[in-house]
Amino acid sequence: MNGATSRLARRVFSAGSAGIAAARRAPNGSTWLSASPRLLSTAASAGGVRGEVTAAPHGEEKTVASYWGVAPAKLLKEDGTEWKWNCFKPWDTYSSDLSIDLKKHHVPTTLGEKMALGLVKALRVPTDIFFNRRYGCRAMMLETVAAVPGMVGGLVLHLQSLRRFEQSCGWIRALLDEAENERMHLMTFMELAKPRWYERTLVVAVQGVFFNVYFATYLLSPKLAHRMVGYLEEEAIHSYTEFLKDLEAGEIENVPAPAIAIDYWRLPAGATLKDVVTVVRADEAHHRDVNHFASDIHYQGRELRELPAPVGYH
């Protein structure tokens, strides 16, 4: 779904008429219901102030008056139950394309590319030692890093667009979408594994170093930065393939999929961890393609804004 369609969908989904739930059809063909926020008390309504009803302790309902009128409309799922996620909306969900080629690889040709691949391979050694085959924990920790490059790339291109008075051709949106998608991987795995105190400390330290190193690399050589991410995604595909092998062998329990994953990837109600890892691996393959494509554009001496970004590529 491109940005304009997404915005249109957002308006459609949130435009409930007072007190009536209305069926809406999303651009992707699925139907969702939007219902207006419940009305305020008489006093607040008389003053023309709209409000949001939120859950309060002891089962009471507490009304928060909003002069600003920004309280989002309640959304209903196709089955009539309330949409319970605020971190993503129905128009952010998708069915993963599992037919993607998982074996694609960019053969490094330049010294920079060989160094990028060598660095990524080298980073696997301490990761293997630290996590061994604890793939749930490994996935959760690595997703804290994987969500950084898209945000950095999107930030740099955003500032560049402002400074140069130029369009980004969708690349800002594509990279920020990648960051958000990676963060959803983290939100999913958080439901299955909880970080211990020393793992939280490690994440803080790694984020501090990785953000700055990647930011500097992106400023100096975006083609190398995207190539390195392409190789990181290739490693992620390998890692999730090993995860799946352990699930199939019964080494890791194939527990039911978290509810957040079922709604985000539109999985069937009886989906399991194996289904989740399969769609996450497909996401990583899509990120691999986007980043190698971005690097190829730079290697051809062109800028990203010269070619349309693969927005909505899942």
97 Cβ neighbours under 8 A, 6+ residues apart = 282, 286, 314
Tell me how far, at minimum, the Cβ of 152 lies from Fe ion, in Å.
Answer: 14
Read off the tokens for 79: 């089955």
Three-state DSSP state, 55: strand
* Residue from the set 271, 284, 295, 305 that interacts with Fe ion by CB under 5 A: 284
Number of H helices, E strands in the chain: 10, 5
Of 219, 266, 281, 288, nearest to 30 by C-alpha is 266
Closest CA to 71 of 48, 91, 51: 51
Output 35 or 280, the one with its CB closest to Fe ion: 280
Q: How far is the CB of 240 from Fe ion (least distance, A)?
A: 8
Number of residues that bind Fe ion (CB under 5 A): 7
Q: Could you say whether residue 173 binds Fe ion (CB under 5 A)?
A: no
Tell me how long the chain is: 314
Interface with Fe ion, residue 292, by CB under 5 A: no
Three-class SS state of 47 = coil
Which 177-196 residues touch Fe ion, going by CB under 5 A?
A: 182, 185
Least separation in angstroms between residue 254's CB and Fe ion is 20
Cα–Cα distance, 4 to 165 (Å, whole number): 20
Q: How far is the CB of 239 from Fe ion (least distance, A)?
A: 10
| Shortest spacing between CB 246 and Fe ion, in angstroms | 18
Chain positions 251 to 270 lying near Fe ion, rule: CB under 5 A, are none
- Rule CB under 5 A: which of 128-157 touch Fe ion? 143, 146
Residues near Fe ion (CB under 5 A) are: 143, 146, 182, 185, 233, 284, 287
